Amino acid sequence: MWNFLRSPDAALGASAGLIVIVAGLVGQYAARGMSPSQWFYGLVAIAGAITLAVILRCWPADKAAQAKADDESFY
């Protein structure tokens, strides 16, 4: 179980969950009423969460770290 928490799959799932949580919070506050600056920073927060998810999926992995992850996933 602890190996899964350190795996790349957990990071991908957590980044997707972060997008859902941030978008939900911004939407909840938007429903209550937000000023234009709050709208802007809410959109910045959503864009930041999306950027994190894209980086985790597209950033090239280090060769040594990738080899170690492949070895650990074998067991």
- Confirm whether 4 is domain-assigned: no
Residue 6 DSSP symbol: T
DSSP SS3 for 48:
helix
Structural domain span for residue 33 = 9-74
Taking a C-beta distance cutoff of 8 angstroms, is the pair 4, 10 a contact? yes
- Confirm whether 55 is domain-assigned: yes
Residue 30 DSSP symbol: H
Does this model's pTM top 0.85? no
- Confirm whether 3 is domain-assigned: no
Q: What is the pLDDT of residues 28-58, one digit of tens each?
A: 999 999 999 999 999 999 999 999 999 988 8
Look at the chain and report how many structural domains it folds into: 1
Average pLDDT value for the chain: 84
- Confirm whether 29 is domain-assigned: yes
Q: Which residue in 47, 59, 44 sits closest to 12, CA to CA?
A: 59
pLDDT at 49: 94
- Confirm whether 2 is domain-assigned: no
- 26 exposure class (CB count in 10 Å sphere: 0-12, 13-18, 19+): buried
